[in-house]
Amino acid sequence: MRERWLWLAPGLPAAVLAVLILYVLPPQQTLGNVLDWAFRLSPFVLGVVTVALLPRWRFGPGLLLAAVVFYMGFLDTGMVVRILRFSAGRGQFEAIYQWSLLTVTFVVLFGLLAYRMAGAATASVLRSGIAAVLVVISGLNDLTFWALYDWPNGRPARLDWASHIIVFVGGPPTVATAVVFAAVHLVLAVAVLLAPWRTV
């Protein structure tokens, strides 16, 4: 019976940290150091563990419906409001960027929730969640942004905006460095999925 509530151990700190990052601390696009990176990533990782530990309730369909309502009523509207404020000169891009990270986190956790409620074992959800986190922090979207954005002065030689890579390599990465960084993370994600984990 105690195991039914084990998900609260990572779930409560994840919620507190998410509220702290979203509503107490000012939004930021750049990271100061690796500790700042780990702090801002921690609600995501704790969220993965929380979903993996959720009991497979008969209320699963209701949870999934509540997640869709949360997305449409809160995340989607919140993004539109921030974009409109920014376009009217009354908001910062950092607020949009932070909200987009929240949306990415939600999409991953929503997929994991569906997987768990469909009967996936704790280890399988953890494995999928860790692999997803590795893809999210790989910098893949920074590379696709570099490749697809219509740069008015030509594509830059360095990815100055990729602060989560900067804190690890010590400065704005070249495209080659960003490719290697992304490749390492994607290979690790595949390795996590293929590793023989004990099913719980």
Residue spans of the chain under pLDDT 70 = 1-2, 58, 197-200
- Length, in residues, of the chain: 200
How high is the pLDDT of residue 92? 87
Q: What whole-number distance in Å separates Cα of residue 175 and Cα of residue 157? A: 7
Please list, in sequence order, all residues whose beta carbon lies within 8 angstroms of the beta carbon of residue 65, skipping any fewer than 6 positions away: none
CA dihedral 108, 114, 118, 121 (to 10 degrees): 30
Closest CA to 74 of 102, 36, 97, 101: 102
- Locus of tokens 């891009």: 93
The pTM of the full predicted model, rounded to 2 decimals, is 0.87
Closest CA to 132 of 90, 87, 185, 81: 185
Calculate helix-pair angle for 93-117, 34-53, nearest 10 degrees.
Answer: 30
User: Would you give the distance in Å from CA 56 to the centre of its chain?
Assistant: 23
CA dihedral 60, 76, 109, 193 (to 10 degrees): 120
Contact criterion met (CB below 8 Å) for 185 and 137: yes
For the chain, the C-alpha Rg in angstroms (whole number) is 18
How high is the pLDDT of residue 34? 92
Q: What are phi and psi of 108, to 5 degrees?
A: -65, -45
How high is the pLDDT of residue 180? 97
Contact criterion met (CB below 8 Å) for 161 and 197: no
